[in-house]
Amino acid sequence: MNDILIIGGGLSGTLLAAQLLRLPGQRRVRVFETRAELGRGEAYSATELGHTLNGNAARMSVDPDNPDDLTQWLTAHIAAGGWPESDAQPVPVAELFPPRGLFGVYVQQRLAEARQVGQAHGATVEHVRVEVVDLQVDATGVRLSLADGSQVRGSQAVLATGMFPAARTRQRQSSGLNAAAVDPWDVQAMRGLDPQGRVLIIGSGLTMVDAVVSLDQAGHRGPIQVYSRHGLLPHVRRQPPTWPDFLAADLSLRSPLQVWRALRGQCRQAMAAGIDWQAPLDTVRAHIGRLWSQASEREKRQFVRHARPWWESHHHRSPPPSDALLQRLLAEGRVTIAAASLLGMAPAENGQVGIRVRDRGQARERVDTGVALINSTGIEYDWRRVDRPLPRQLLARGLIRPGPLALGIAAAANGAVENREGRASPRLFAMGPPLRGLWWESTAVTDVAAQAKALALTLAGARG
């Protein structure tokens, strides 16, 4: 029997397990995930209804062969009496932004259905609630070392570790930010804050939007000061009409600069015709992997250094309900944005927290204080900075190496992990967020679903 070991049981690991169960053949799949449930991970463990997906249902199918899968599931779920709060969004089901916790239920149901399919041909999946702290690869397979001292062998292993949110990730070189910060999604902890006190938030992306939603649901009504190096906020996600795929029509557009200029021209054309500029931007999504992989290292570095903040704010957009709250608080003056960099923590009195910041364009630093601090700097993709046993061990022994620009880990196009010398392993694979450096966008649901299908076929075809 072909034993496949999946390290991580969030979205990535669960979708891979489901795809493996649906393929013909006997195999035993073991998913190593310390959480009580598979399919949730960091992203979909949220329980508050206000924490929604940042994409509407039509964009979030976990079935790469059926883009309407989530829409169909939601339609049936709502008809059966689930999610009655959906009435607050008076739009078609395909345009709804479901709560992240509900999306986790959807993923779990699709896994349950795959289990039934797998039973017909002797394929099984087991959830092992122990952390993997190390692994060894040899000619015959992979051996995992677990936190309880036991070991498990398999034919292949997959690093499906998902995302490392900066707010919840221990870092080897820490400024002390997380030790002093409140979790952006911990509404219960926020209920213990002074409801009129000033809250400081580092970072202005989608995690910041979540933090503002959490504060509002906790009953916080005081000022919120947001710090961001560029002072940019996520745009709201709208539902623009379809737009011609200009990149498919002109394959000569290859470099980031060429694409950038062409995209700006397309957006200008759209706005001149009274069409939302998001329409041309959304056509780029299907070409990101190709464009990123064919860009030179210099072009990639320039994009990350100069264009990344604008790409993030325009492409990774906020769900309308969350954006409506943020815009209201901005209009009321309760939320203010400062273009500034965090320098470190600072002493504070009377139970408050203090930070040292430098405003953009200024040489001198200053100290700000508040009743609470929230780290909303997003995702930590550099595995060298992640203070967890498995990344530490794999890097130290050269079984993995950092990906391009230290984004995730290096791998071949089929997900085979590359070691320190650049050799791709026939036994160790990766998928999802760890492949950020390979594909740039490797975190969206549709990206992960497509990778899961392709990797399942690769693993199923490999000899034990």
Across the range 71-84, mean pLDDT stands at 96
CB contact at 8 A, 230 and 259: no
User: Given a cut of 60, is residue 98 above it in pLDDT?
Assistant: yes
Fold entry, domain 167-235+317-375: FAD/NAD(P)-binding domain (3.50.50)
* Contact partners, residue 258, CB within 8 Å, separation at least 6: 252
pLDDT grade for 72, boundaries at 50, 70 and 90:
very high
Kindly report, residue by residue over 360-411, the tens digit of the pLDDT: 999 999 999 999 999 999 889 999 999 999 999 999 999 999 999 999 999 9
pLDDT grade for 441, boundaries at 50, 70 and 90:
confident
Q: 334: which DSSP letter? A: S
User: Given a cut of 60, is residue 464 above it in pLDDT?
Assistant: no
For helices 100-119 and 69-79, angle between their N-to-C axes, nearest 10 degrees = 100
CB contact at 8 A, 388 and 162: no
Across the range 240-269, mean pLDDT stands at 92
Across the range 332-353, mean pLDDT stands at 94
User: Given a cut of 90, is residue 305 above it in pLDDT?
Assistant: no
Across the range 234-242, mean pLDDT stands at 94
Q: Measure the CA–CA gap between 131 and 122, rounded to whole angstroms.
A: 27
CB contact at 8 A, 432 and 442: yes
Percent of the chain predicted with pLDDT > 90? 84
Map out the domains of the chain as residue ranges: 2-51+99-164+381-461, 167-235+317-375, 246-315
pLDDT value, residue 1: 44
User: Given a cut of 90, is residue 453 above it in pLDDT?
Assistant: yes
Q: Measure the CA–CA gap between 24 and 217, rounded to whole angstroms.
A: 47
Across the range 102-111, mean pLDDT stands at 97
pLDDT value, residue 53: 95
Across the range 47-74, mean pLDDT stands at 95
Percent of the chain predicted with pLDDT > 70? 98
pLDDT value, residue 122: 93
pLDDT grade for 2, boundaries at 50, 70 and 90:
low
We find that the CATH architecture of domain 2-51+99-164+381-461 is: 3-Layer(bba) Sandwich (3.50)
User: Given a cut of 90, is residue 135 above it in pLDDT?
Assistant: yes
User: Given a cut of 50, is residue 71 above it in pLDDT?
Assistant: yes
* Contact partners, residue 246, CB within 8 Å, separation at least 6: 253, 262, 266, 280, 283
pLDDT value, residue 177: 81
Across the range 232-248, mean pLDDT stands at 95
CA R_g for the chain: 23
Q: 408: which DSSP letter? A: S
Across the range 433-437, mean pLDDT stands at 95
Q: Measure the CA–CA gap between 243 and 356, rounded to whole angstroms.
A: 46
pLDDT value, residue 57: 97
CB contact at 8 A, 438 and 424: no
pLDDT grade for 173, boundaries at 50, 70 and 90:
low
Q: Do domains 2-51+99-164+381-461 and 167-235+317-375 have the same CATH topology?
A: yes
pLDDT grade for 172, boundaries at 50, 70 and 90:
low
User: Given a cut of 70, is residue 64 above it in pLDDT?
Assistant: yes
Instruction: Indicate the pTM of the whole model.
Output: 0.94
pLDDT value, residue 166: 84
Tell me the two tokens of residue 424: 């791709």
pLDDT value, residue 89: 86
Window from 113-122, 170-179, 219-228, 342-351 with minimum mean pLDDT? 170-179
